């Protein structure tokens, strides 16, 4: 099993290219099931989750081809074609590896009129039920059954008739599944209190490129007029705003100056505002974000919220950054109830953090010390990397397969800007 070793204390200077967004890529890939024509995705990140989703599509009969892939390149071009869907069951052995697998549910029902999908796995960051996914499909006229760890959904007559779903709370994944079944409904589907994340907008734009009719893109009310068929398309995955924010937190803590290229600052307002409040200097020039810091940070208060609020996927990274702030910071996690599992690991490095339910108080300390730590989920693992970059001595991070799910060639990118970091294999 691989580990990442970091010898902290180096300032970060240089350029870091931002990859295509993991959360968007995993939403765009299942769109291939909606048509028998090729869907080509550009700027696709090289990630374990993307590979796993590709394997899932293969099991359903989708052919996937990587075009012109070179080891030194960031991003890939993949063409997926579901000329004939050969299976409508997404099995446990693949779905258990990542929660995003549930996103084949909507497209399979839309294309084939039925789907059987194992209940998903993914990061252990709290209870993330799929009830809202199923309620949306039911609201559009689908029949839902659940047994033996699987959910079976069918559409009467092969296509859902349409309807209105009012989400009681904002759900990104449920909005995505609802969109992908609605685009091929017999009638009109309306989604109220829809998620507005940039990844939702990316999905809508890709579906429109494929021939879907969607009104209200970027708002909380989406109206989808179903069409008889969708066609193929070529579409570029949006830049990863979470990856960009993670590297910004790293340079804010270590000091230095980096340019994040191929980034989109317009989608990162809450993150960039929080960095500025903490004392980092942030400057935007076109598709580049320049972040610099002297390593002297101020405490801030943060609350995770649905977009355009502060992203839950940035909470762990900011917590690591704030461990050395000159005062007391307060973080409130409103999205997931079990997303502080990185706190004990940060404490092993000398951080002073108190957790009370969904709230955490970070008492700034004078310094962190390298230690052996264990990643517990994707974003928590990045928080340990950030802390290790600033810690005195060596930090050894185990279970780095979590990192490989969401950060493309992380060691290479950080080494290029001055970090002393390497991947070590036990075997």
Q: Given this model, what pLDDT does residue 22 score?
A: 95
Q: Is-above-0.85 flag for pTM?
A: yes
Q: Given this model, what pLDDT does residue 68 score?
A: 65
> What percent of the chain has pLDDT above 70?
96
Averaged pLDDT score across all residues of the chain: 94
Alpha helices in 186-340 (DSSP H): 198-209, 241-254, 269-278, 315-322
Digit-coded pLDDT (tens) for 182-197: 999 999 999 999 999 9
In 56-187, at which residue ranges do the beta strands (DSSP E only) sit?
63-67, 76-81, 89-90, 114-118, 143-147, 150-154, 163-166
Q: What average pLDDT does the segment 99-108 reach?
A: 92
Position 126 pLDDT exceeds 70: no
The 3-state DSSP class for residue 332 equals strand
Q: How many helices (H) and strands (E) does the chain have?
A: 14, 24
Q: What average pLDDT does the segment 82-107 reach?
A: 89
Task: Answer left, alpha or beta for residue 31, where phi above 0 means left and psi between -120 and 50 means alpha.
Answer: alpha
Superfamily in which the 22-236 domain is placed by CATH: Enolpyruvate transferase domain (3.65.10.10)
Sequence-separated contacts (24+) of 281-288 with Cβ below 8 Å: 282/248, 287/239, 287/261, 287/262, 287/263, 288/259, 288/260, 288/261, 288/263
Q: Given this model, what pLDDT does residue 331 score?
A: 97
Distance CA 177, CA 196 (A): 14
Q: How confident is the model at residue 124 (pLDDT cuts 50, 70, 90)?
A: very low
Distance CA 157, CA 418 (A): 60
Position 72 pLDDT exceeds 80: no
Position 130 pLDDT exceeds 70: yes
Between 129 and 3, the more confident residue is 3
Position 123 pLDDT exceeds 60: no
**CATH 3.65.10.10 domain span(s) along the chain:** 2-18+239-425, 22-236
| Helix then strand then coil, % of the chain, to nearest 5 | 35, 30, 35
Q: Given this model, what pLDDT does residue 321 score?
A: 98
Fold of the 2-18+239-425 domain: UDP-n-acetylglucosamine1-carboxyvinyl-transferase; Chain (3.65.10)
Catalytic residue numbers read 123
CB distance 350 to 367 below 8 Å: yes
Position 2 pLDDT exceeds 70: yes
Q: How confident is the model at residue 71 (pLDDT cuts 50, 70, 90)?
A: low
Q: How confident is the model at residue 125 (pLDDT cuts 50, 70, 90)?
A: very low
């Amino acid at each position: 099993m691989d580990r990442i070793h970091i010898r902290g204390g180096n300032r970060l200077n240089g350029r870091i290219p931002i990859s295509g967004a993991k959360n968007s890529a995993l939403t765009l890939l299942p769109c291939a099931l909606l048509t028998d024509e090729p869907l080509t995705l550009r700027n696709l990140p090289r990630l374990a989750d993307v590979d796993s989703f590709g394997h899932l599509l293969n099991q359903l009969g989708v052919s996937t081809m990587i075009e012109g892939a070179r080891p030194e390149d960031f991003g890939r071009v993949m063409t997926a074609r579901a000329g004939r869907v050969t299976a409508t069951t997404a099995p446990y052995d693949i779905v258990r590896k990542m929660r995003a697998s549930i996103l084949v549910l909507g497209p399979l029902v839309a294309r084939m009129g039925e789907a059987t999908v194992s209940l998903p796995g993914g990061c252990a960051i709290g209870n993330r039920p799929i009830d809202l996914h199923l309620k949306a499909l039911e609201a559009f006229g689908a029949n839902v059954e659940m047994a033996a760890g699987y959910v079976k959904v069918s559409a009467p007559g092969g296509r859902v008739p349409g309807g209105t779903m009012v989400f009681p709370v904002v759900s990104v994944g449920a909005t995505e599944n609802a969109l992908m079944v609605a685009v091929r409904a017999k009638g009109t589907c309306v989604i109220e209190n829809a998620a507005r994340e940039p990844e939702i907008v990316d999905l809508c734009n890709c579906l429109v490129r494929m021939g879907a009719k969607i009104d209200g893109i970027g708002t909380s009310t989406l109206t989808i007029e179903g069409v008889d068929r969708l066609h193929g398309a070529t579409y570029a995955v949006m830049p990863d705003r979470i990856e960009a924010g993670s590297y910004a937190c790293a340079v804010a803590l270590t000091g230095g100056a980096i340019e994040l290229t191929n980034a989109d600052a317009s989608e990162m307002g809450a993150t960039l505002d929080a960095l500025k409040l903490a004392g980092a200097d942030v400057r935007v020039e076109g598709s580049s974000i320049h972040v610099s810091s002297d390593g002297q940070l101020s405490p801030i208060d943060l609350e995770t919220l649905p977009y355009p609020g502060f992203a839950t996927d940035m909470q762990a990274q900011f917590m690591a950054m704030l461990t050395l702030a000159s005062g007391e910071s307060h973080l409130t996690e409103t999205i997931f109830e079990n997303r502080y599992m990185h706190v004990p690991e940060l404490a092993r490095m000398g951080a002073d953090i108190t957790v009370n339910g969904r709230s955490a108080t970070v008492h700034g300390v004078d310094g962190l010390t390298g230690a052996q730590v264990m990643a517990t989920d994707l974003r928590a693992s990045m928080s340990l990397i950030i802390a290790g970059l600033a810690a005195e001595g060596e930090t050894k991070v185990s279970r780095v397969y979590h990192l490989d799910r969401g950060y493309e060639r992380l060691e290479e990118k950080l080494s290029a800007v001055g970090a002393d970091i390497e991947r070590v294999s036990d075997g």
